[in-house]
């Protein structure tokens, strides 16, 4: 059985303002005090994993150990089929040390152009998220989620963060960058959620928070 989360304080193991905001939105209905790794001045561990789950666990364990509190981390990425799944686990690295996702999105498009991926059926892509909830005693639970769609160009919308403006999910006409937070998460309308992070969160909540 998954371990229940029964504490009243949780570290969001991230220094990414957009990701911290989304996690806070997704946990807003629970009476838990959230504090980010950035607020606690925790160092960012080196993400040496080869999978999203590996990196999520690295970050969650590091934050739980450093803070003495349970920690929740997310590792997520944009995976483009014509680019052999890249940028994938290296999605943040494509933005460089200055977190320039406009440049990262241009890099995706340039590589798609080089691959001759001009038609929609050659531009299949997906967002993948892995969540890790870790406790200071070393125990951890992990959950994953994915949403598929296509990579569009030029970028559309200024909502969300990261690669959101170039991702249009299946059965929708707008990109994540054009959707409000409620639309992007889609928990009520879609049941299992729309975004990759919302789908992983639903599994987390069902296992560790609800009931």
Residues annotated as catalytic are 75
Task: Please state, in angstroms and as integers, the Cα–Cα distance from residue 35 to each residue in 13, 38, 40, 129, 208, following that order.
Answer: 9, 8, 7, 21, 19
Burial 195-204 (b: 16+ CB within 10 A, else e): bbbbbbbbbb
Structure tokens at 117: 């991926």
Q: How far apart are CA 181 and CA 177, in angstroms?
A: 10
Q: Within 47-193, where are the H helices?
A: 52-67, 101-114, 181-185, 187-190
Contact 64, 136 (CB under 8 A): yes
């Amino acid at each position: 059985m998954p371990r229940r989360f029964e504490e009243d304080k949780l570290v969001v193991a991230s220094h990414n303002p957009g990701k911290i905001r989304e996690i806070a939105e997704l946990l807003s209905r629970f009476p838990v005090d959230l504090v980010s790794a950035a607020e606690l001045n925790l160092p960012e561990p080196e993400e040496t994993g080869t999978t999203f789950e590996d990196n999520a666990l690295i970050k969650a364990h590091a934050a739980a150990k450093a803070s003495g509190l349970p920690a929740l981390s997310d590792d997520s990425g944009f995976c483009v089929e014509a680019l052999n799944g890249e940028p994938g686990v290296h999605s943040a690295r494509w933005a460089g040390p200055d977190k320039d996702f406009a440049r990262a999105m241009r890099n995706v498009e340039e590589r798609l152009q080089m691959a001759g991926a001009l038609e929609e059926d050659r531009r299949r892509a997906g967002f993948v998220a892995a969540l890790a909830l870790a406790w200071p005693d070393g125990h951890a639970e992990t959950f994953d989620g994915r949403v598929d769609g296509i990579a569009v160009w030029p970028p559309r919308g200024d909502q969300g963060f990261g690669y959101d403006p170039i991702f249009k999910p299946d059965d929708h006409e707008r990109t994540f960058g054009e959707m409000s937070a409620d639309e992007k998460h889609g928990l009520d309308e879609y049941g299992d959620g729309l975004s990759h992070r919302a789908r992983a969160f639903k599994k987390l909540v069902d296992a560790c928070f609800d009931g």
